[in-house]
A = this chain, B = another copy of it.
């Protein structure tokens, strides 16, 4: 700890305590004065450390109120190629997911249309929650043509990502063909799953992913916790 600047050591200590979950997301940190006393340094030195953490997106400060644990990830890139795991790992977090439904059923009208299927065709449906460092980031529902991906549901139980399950089904690459983004208020069930209050802002994206031959492989709806995610639209 001796080598390097004092502020860097303090920032590292605080970052460790944040990663450890000592302070829950949204919690208020001790005041700058208290932190200065704790580490035995001037308040400016604490501020330098906090500025570093703020630049990394770990904390957010509000004048007159305090310094709070940021709800990460701050940014979620939405481009032609979106991989949840890449977004999360790029933010230095650990991605995980919980599956809440796996089923094969008849496609709804808009699902069949989005996937270019005949009305009444069968589809595989997977629903679940995506988490970063254990905190819910988004709910998702993905719909796949059942005729092409017969073993997909089994694969999804085995591997940790949709990308890998599709790869096992022979789709080694896919791109986002279209995306629509709307803002909604959280319904009770959504608020429960995403650990939000009812009525909290939700970002809803609707996307169609296609393979290299432009054939639709997935029709996906995702509901992001608006307070924890900023969608970044690239191109």
Chain A residues near B (Cβ < 8 Å): 55, 79-81, 83, 85-86, 89-90, 163, 172-173, 175, 177, 210-214, 234-235
Please give the count of copies of this chain that the complex contains.
Answer: 2
> How many angstroms between the C-alpha atoms of A210 and B79 in the bound complex?
20
- Residues on B with beta carbons closer than 8 Å to the beta carbon of A173: 80, 175, 212, 214
CB of A2 to closest CB in B, whole Å: 19
> Contact: B214 with A85, CB < 8 Å?
no
- Residues on B with beta carbons closer than 8 Å to the beta carbon of A211: 212
> Contact: B214 with A172, CB < 8 Å?
yes
- Residues on B with beta carbons closer than 8 Å to the beta carbon of A212: 173, 211-214
> Contact: A235 with B172, CB < 8 Å?
no
* 12 interchain pairs, CB-CB under 8 A: A79-B86, A80-B173, A89-B234, A89-B235, A90-B234, A163-B235, A172-B214, A173-B175, A173-B212, A173-B214, A211-B212, A212-B212
> How many angstroms between the C-alpha atoms of A221 and B127 in the bound complex?
41
- Residues on B with beta carbons closer than 8 Å to the beta carbon of A234: 86, 89-90
